[in-house]
Amino acid sequence: MQVAVCVKMVPVPGQWSQIAFRDDGSLQREGIELIINPVDRNALEEALKIRQAQGGTVTVFSMGPPSCLEHLRETLAMGADRAFLLSDRNFAGADTLATSKVLAAGIRKEMPDYDLILCGSASIDSGTTQVGPQLAVHLGTAHLTEAFSISAGEQNYLQVKTSASHGHYVTNLKTPAVISVTQQLNKPRIPTLFDIMTSCNKEIIILSLTELNLPKSESGLEGSPTKVQELFFPPAKRQARILEGSIEDRVEELFKQPGVAGVLR
């Protein structure tokens, strides 16, 4: 099976508190380290398992700035055959629609014979969960989200279990398809030193807008129907009153407060 995996690089959560505003109101996030979006490793792991069982190839696609390049190395070390970084100044400011269009254009160009595209269910920084379904729409294929089990059978038939609010769905489908996966699906492998060394001669290819057969008006900020009108830090609206005295006194004082006393009755 020819499997494509979409991998996003996201800022390390531990450093999110360093994200600040510039004077012009834009976000200052330089210097913040990137990591592979955690659940995207599960998507990659599943692709590698399918290749192990059935043969085929695993190709990683990522849209992001050039600084993503070194992290794409890690996907090759995990076992991906090749990786494409879709990178262009014009891609900046993309919402999920523009992101999914660029990814679709990359896959159409480099892997028109794909069978399966795996995405993570959500990215931790924006967490929209939208890129998978939208990618499927652009490519005209089926999509499933929240997959926690994928069994690949004969002749490109898949049985997929996806979780929902009160249970789960069991779906059979024939590829092609786009499936967004959860962290329950598997346990991603950790590359060994040997893997890292042997991955050095695998390729990472950078594709820019001109190579993608996509109008500029459909990528980046220009191709994004949604715009950020305002960014702000949520205001503090709590009294932040620390109660004093013995524990008994403090608890008694607490239970006298109007919002608390009313509830006790």
Partner 1 sequence: MIGDIEEKENLWIFVELYKSEPKQVSLELIAKGRILADKFGLCVCALLIGDDVKNISPVLINAGADTVFLLEHPLLRQYRSDFYAPVILDLIRKGKPGAVFFGATPTGRDLAPAVAALAGTGCTAGCIDLELTENGALLQTVPAFGGRMMAVIVTPEQRPQIATVRPGVFQQAGFSERDGRVVDILPELPQAKFDLVEFVEESLQPSLLPSARVVVAGGAGVDSREGWELLRELTGALQGALGGSRPALDNGWIQESQMIGHSGSTIRPDLYIAVGISGDVLHMVGVQDAKVIVAVNSNSRAPIFSRSDYGIVGDYREVIPVMIDAVKKKQRS
Ligand X SMILES: Cc1cc2nc3c(=O)[nH]c(=O)nc-3n(C[C@H](O)[C@H](O)[C@H](O)COP(=O)(O)OP(=O)(O)OC[C@H]3O[C@@H](n4cnc5c(N)ncnc54)[C@H](O)[C@@H]3O)c2cc1C
Min separation Cβ 73 and ligand AMP, Å? 16
- The listed partner (partner 1, ligand AMP, ligand X, none) that binds 75, CB under 5 to 8 Å by sort, is none
- The listed partner (ligand X, ligand AMP, partner 1, none) that binds 88, CB under 5 to 8 Å by sort, is none
- Rounded Cα distance between 148 and 169, Å, is 10
Which of 1, 3, 8, 50 is in the footprint of ligand AMP by CB under 6 A?
A: 8
- Rounded Cα distance between 14 and 37, Å, is 13
- Rounded Cα distance between 250 and 114, Å, is 65
Residue whose tokens read 């779906």: 171
Min separation Cβ 181 and ligand AMP, Å? 9
CB burial of residue 203 (10 Å; 0-12, 13-18, 19+) = exposed
- The listed partner (partner 1, ligand AMP, ligand X, none) that binds 228, CB under 5 to 8 Å by sort, is partner 1
- The listed partner (ligand X, ligand AMP, partner 1, none) that binds 62, CB under 5 to 8 Å by sort, is ligand AMP
Is residue 116 within a helix (H) or strand (E), and if so which, with residue range?
A: strand 116-120
Check if the beta carbon of residue 80 is closer than 8 Å to that of residue 44: yes
Which of 40, 45, 74, 115 is in the footprint of ligand AMP by CB under 6 A?
A: 40
Question: In this complex, which beta carbon is closest to ligand X, that of residue 13 or of residue 25?
Answer: 13
- Residue 133 is given by DSSP the state H
**94, 86, 128: which is closest to 224 by C-alpha?**
94
Told to check if 262 binds partner 1 by CB under 8 A, we report yes
Question: In this complex, which beta carbon is closest to ligand X, that of residue 13 or of residue 153?
Answer: 13
Min separation Cβ 19 and partner 1, Å? 6
Give the number of other Cβ atoms within 10 Å of residue 162's Cβ. 20
- Rounded Cα distance between 110 and 124, Å, is 27
Site for ligand AMP in 119-148 (CB under 6 A): 119-120, 122-123, 126-132
Phi, psi of 27 (to 5 degrees): -90, 130
Q: Could you list the residues that contact ligand X (CB under 6 A)?
A: 13, 124
Told to check if 168 binds partner 1 by CB under 8 A, we report yes
- The listed partner (ligand X, partner 1, ligand AMP, none) that binds 37, CB under 5 to 8 Å by sort, is ligand AMP
Check if the beta carbon of residue 96 is closer than 8 Å to that of residue 125: no
44: helix, coil or strand? Answer: helix
**How many angstroms from the chain centroid is the CA of residue 206?**
19
Question: Contact letters (x/-) for partner 1, 28-67, by CB under 8 A?
Answer: ----------------------------------------
Which of 37, 75, 199, 219 is in the footprint of ligand AMP by CB under 6 A?
A: 37
Binding region for ligand AMP (CB under 6 A)? 6-8, 37, 39-40, 43, 61-64, 96, 99, 103, 119-120, 122-123, 126-132
